[in-house]
Chains A and B, each alone.
Chain A
C-alpha cells in the first residue's frame, strides 16, 4: 500500500514537471512553431521567471535580495511582466538575424543571463541559489498539496492551450503563419513583419518565464544550474520537435512524453540498465583489461566503494542524454513533422507555397 502511494506521488510529480515543460514548449512553439524564430535561449527567460518570482516571494534572507513576501500569484505575474522589456530588448536587436545566427545570439544572451544570476551575489546568493521559495498549498496535507499543485499546473497548460489556439486562428495568427510561409509576400502586402515577429518573440518569452516561475515554486528553490542549456533549452527543443512543432497539442504531448521518458530513465535505469548493460560490455572489458594499462581502464565493472563513480549505474544518466539525442535524430529523419504534425490553416493551404519555396531555393 505504501509503495502504491509512493507511485501515486511519483506520477503526480511526473504530471507537474511534464506540465511545466509543456508550458515552456508552448512558449517555444509560439516562437519557433508559428513564427519560425530559432530561439536557443529558452533557459534565459526560464531563469528570469524563476528568479524574479522566487526573490519576490521568498522570506527575507541576508544572503539575497528579498523580504517582499508577495503572494505567489503576484510574484508569478511580476516575473512575467519583467520578462516583457527584457525579451523586447533582446528581440529588438536580434530578430533580424538569420536563423542560426539567431540561435547563437540567443544562446549567448541566455548564458549572459545565467552569469548575471551566478555572479550578482547580493541579489541571488550566487551559485548557492535562493531557497525557501514558497510553494502553493504547502500547508495542506499530503497528498492534497501535490494534487492541487499538479492541477494548477495542468489548468495553466489548458488555459494557455486555449489562448494560443484562439490566437493561432485569429487574424493575428493567420498573418503570423503567412509571414513564416512567405515573408516577401507579407512584406509586399505592407505588413510590418518585424513588429509581428517581435510580438511573437515577447509573448513566447513571457510564457517561458511563467514556466520558470512555476518551476521555482514547485521545487522551492532556484540556482544558476537551472539555467544550464541542457535541461532548460535543448530538452525543450527535443520535446517540441518530437511532439510536432507548430502544433500545440503536439507541444504538450511532446513535453509530457519526453519528460516521462527522461524521468523514468533516471528512476528506473539504475535498476534495469546496469546488469544488462554490464553483461553486454563485460566480455569486451575483460579482454581489454588483459592488455591495456590499468590507468586507461577508467570503467571498472564494480562501483568504486568510496565515490560510487565510474560504475555502470552512474552512467545511466548519461545514457539517457544519449538516447534523447538519438531520439531527436530519429524524429528529424523519419518523422520530421513530429508525432502530431502541424495543422495548416485553410487559407494557407490554398496558396501553392511549397512550390514557391522550391522555386526560390533553386539555383539560378
Chain B
C-alpha cells in the first residue's frame, strides 16, 4: 500500500501541480482572449531554456547552491519570457482581436512551430539536465519516501497558486481580469483598459508556464518537445476544471496528474492496470470524455 503513496500518489501530485500551473495560464488566456493557445506548451519550454541559460549565466551557480540560483533565475526568466510573449502577442495575435477565434488558434499553431524551432536552433535538439546528480530521498516515519525536489516543487506550486489567488481576488488588475473573462464587451463599456488586462494575462500566464516548465525539467529532463508533450495534459486539466476558471484548473491539474500515475498501479493482478506506454493517453481520454459529456468542467463552470 505504501508503494501506492510513494510511487504513484506523490509523483502524481507533483506532476499534477505542474499541469495545474500550466492549466491556469491556458485557462486565463482562454477566459480573457477567448482562444485555446496551442503554443502554451512551447512557452513552457522556452521559459525553461531561458531559466537554464540564466543559471549558467549567473556566476552565482557554483558559488551558491542550485536552489538559490533557481530562486534568482526563475523570476528573471519569467519576466524575460513574459516580454517575449508580449512581443509575440503584439505581432501575431493582436492583429486578430476582432477576427473569428479560429484564426488566432491557427496563428497559435504557427507560433508553436516557431517557438519550438527557435529553441532547437538556439539551444540544440539534444537532452539537457537542469540539475545533475542523484538526490537521496527523504524518509518520513521510515516508510514515506519523498525526493527533496518533489517537496520543493509542491511547496513552490502552492506558493504560486496562493499568489494567483491573491492577484485575482484582491488586486484591481486581477478583478479586471475576472471581469473581462465574464464579459469582454461590458468590460470595454465600463472603461476597463482591455489591452492592459490582456498584457497582464499574458505576463501571469507565462510566469506560471515558466515555473511549470522548470519543475518539469527538474523532475525529468529538458528537451525542446517537453512542453508540447504535456500540452494535451495541460488542456485536459484546464477543461476538467472548467476552462476559463483558474481555480478549476488547479484542481483539474491535480486530478489529471494523479490519475495518470494511478493508471499504472497494479489495481488488478500483478501487472500495471494500464501499460505505462498509455500513461499520457489517460489525460487525453479524460479530456475527450469531459469535452463530450461535461464541457463545462467538473465544477460549476461556463463555456464562452
Interface residue ranges, A against B (CB under 8 Å): 38, 93-94, 97-101, 103-105, 107-109, 111-112, 115, 118-119, 230, 234, 237-238, 241, 292-293, 295-296, 298-299, 309-310, 314-315, 318-322, 324-326, 328-329, 332-333, 336, 363
Which A residue sits closest to B189, measured CB to CB? A363
Measured between C-beta atoms, what is the minimum distance from B258 to chain A in Å? 19
New contact pairs (18) apart from A93-B288, A104-B287, A333-B92, CB-CB < 8 Å: A38-B105, A99-B102, A99-B105, A100-B101, A101-B239, A103-B105, A108-B232, A108-B285, A108-B288, A119-B275, A119-B278, A234-B113, A309-B124, A322-B113, A325-B117, A328-B107, A329-B111, A363-B185
Q: Which residues of B contact A295 (CB under 8 A)?
A: 56
Closest to B289 in A: A93
Q: State the Cβ distance, A360 to closest chain B Cβ, in Å.
A: 12
Bound-state Cα–Cα, A40 to B43, Å: 20
Among A103, A105, A115, contact of B287 (Cβ-Cβ < 8 Å) = A105
Between B103, B124, B280, the greatest number of chain A beta carbons within 10 A of the residue's beta carbon is seen for: B124
Bound complex: CA of A124 vs CA of B118, how far in Å?
34
Q: Which residues of B (247-294) have their CB < 8 Å from a CB of A?
A: 275, 277-278, 280-281, 284-285, 287-288, 291-292
Contact between A296 and B53, CB atoms less than 8 A apart: yes
Question: What is the CA–CA distance of A28 and B243 in the complex, to the nearest angstrom?
Answer: 27
Q: Which residues of A contact B235 (CB under 8 A)?
A: 104, 108
Assuming A329-B110, A332-B110, is B124 touching A310 (CB within 8 A)?
Answer: yes
Residues of the A chain whose Cβ atoms lie less than 8 Å from the Cβ of B53: 296
- Residue among B284, B291, B303 making CB contact with A111, cutoff 8 Å: B284
Given contacts A100-B102, A310-B124, A326-B114, contact A111 B57 (CB under 8 A): no
Residue of chain A at shortest CB distance from B275: A119
B303 touching A105 by the CB < 8 A rule? Answer: no
Q: Does B126 contact A (CB under 8 A)?
A: yes
Closest to B56 in A: A296
Residues of B within 8 A of A (CB): 35-36, 38, 53, 56-57, 91-92, 95-96, 101-103, 105-107, 109-114, 116-118, 120-126, 185, 232, 235-236, 239, 275, 277-278, 280-281, 284-285, 287-288, 291-292, 295, 303
Contact of A230 among B36, B57, B113 (CB under 8 A): B113
Q: Establish whether residues A237 and B109, one from each chain, have CB atoms under 8 Å apart when the complex forms.
A: yes
Docked-complex contact A293 and B36, CB < 8 angstroms: no
Nearest chain-A residue to B231 (Cβ)?
A107
Is the beta-carbon distance between B291 and A299 smaller than 8 angstroms? no
Chain A positions within 8 Å of B125 at CB level: 309, 314, 318
CB-defined contacts of B103 to chain A, threshold 8 Å: 332, 336
Decide if the interface of chain B is mainly helix, strand, loop or mixed. Answer: helix
Between A and B, 27 residue pairs with Cβ closer than 8 Å are A93-B292, A97-B291, A103-B36, A103-B105, A104-B287, A108-B235, A108-B285, A109-B288, A111-B280, A112-B285, A112-B288, A115-B278, A230-B113, A295-B56, A296-B57, A298-B123, A309-B125, A309-B126, A319-B117, A322-B121, A324-B113, A325-B111, A329-B110, A329-B111, A329-B114, A332-B110, A363-B185
Closest to A362 in B: B185
Q: Are A101 and B126 in contact (CB under 8 A)?
A: no
Interface centre among B35, B110, B123, B295 (most CB of A within 10 A): B110
Contact present for A104 and B239 (CB under 8 Å): yes
Question: Considering only CB atoms, which chain A residue lies closest to B274 in the complex?
Answer: A119
Shortest 10 CB-CB contacts between residues of A and residues of B: A325-B113, A325-B114, A328-B110, A119-B277, A108-B284, A321-B117, A363-B185, A318-B120, A322-B117, A100-B36
CB atoms of B122 and A299 under 8 A apart: yes
Chain A residues with Cβ under 8 A from B112's Cβ? Answer: 234, 325
> In the complex, are the beta carbons of B57 and A292 less than 8 A apart?
yes
Counting chain B CB atoms within 10 Å of each CB, the highest count among A93, A309, A325 belongs to A325
Residues B102 and A108 in contact, CB atoms below 8 Å apart: no
Which residues on B sit within 8 Å (CB–CB) of A310?
124, 126
CA distance A296 to B281 in the complex (A): 36
A263–B103 CA distance with the chains assembled, in angstroms: 27
Do the beta carbons of B56 and A101 come within 8 Å of each other?
no
Q: A331: shortest Cβ distance to chain B, in Å? A: 9
Q: B92 touches which one: A99, A109, A230, A329 (CB < 8 A)?
A: A329
Q: Which residues of B contact A241 (CB under 8 A)?
A: 106
Q: Of B278, B285, B292, which one neighbours A94 at CB under 8 angstroms?
A: B292
What residue of chain A has the Cβ atom nearest to residue B99's Cβ? A336
Q: In the complex, what residues of A have CB within 8 A of residue B123's CB?
A: 298-299
How far does the Cβ of B216 sit from chain A's closest Cβ, in whole Å?
18
Known contacts A299-B124, A328-B110; A100 and B117 CB within 8 A of each other? no
CB distance from B80 to the nearest CB of A (A): 15
Quick check: A326 and B110 within 8 Å, CB to CB?
yes
**A93 to B292, alpha carbons, bound, how many Å?**
6
A322 touches B118 (CB 8 A): yes
Q: Are A104 and B110 in contact (CB under 8 A)?
A: no
Chain B residues lying within 8 Å of A115, measured Cβ to Cβ, are 277-278, 280-281
Residues from chain A with a CB closer than 8 A to the CB of B288 are: 93-94, 105, 108-109, 112
**Chain B residue at smallest Cβ distance from A336:** B103
Tell me how far the C-beta of A241 lies from the nearest C-beta in chain B, rounded to whole angstroms: 6
Residue ID in chain A nearest B108 by CB atoms:
A100
With a CB–CB cut-off of 8 A, which chain A residues contact B116?
Answer: 321
Query: A353 to nearest B CB, angstroms?
Result: 14
| A234 in contact with B109 (CB, 8 Å) | yes
Q: With the chains together, A105 CA to B290 CA distance in Å?
A: 10
In the bound complex, CA of A48 to CA of B96 (Å): 35
Contact B275 A315 (CB under 8 A): no
When chains A and B are docked, how far (Å) is the Cα of A100 from the Cα of B103? 10
- Using known A-B contacts A293-B56, A309-B125, A309-B126, determine if residue A329 contacts B107 with beta carbons closer than 8 Å: yes
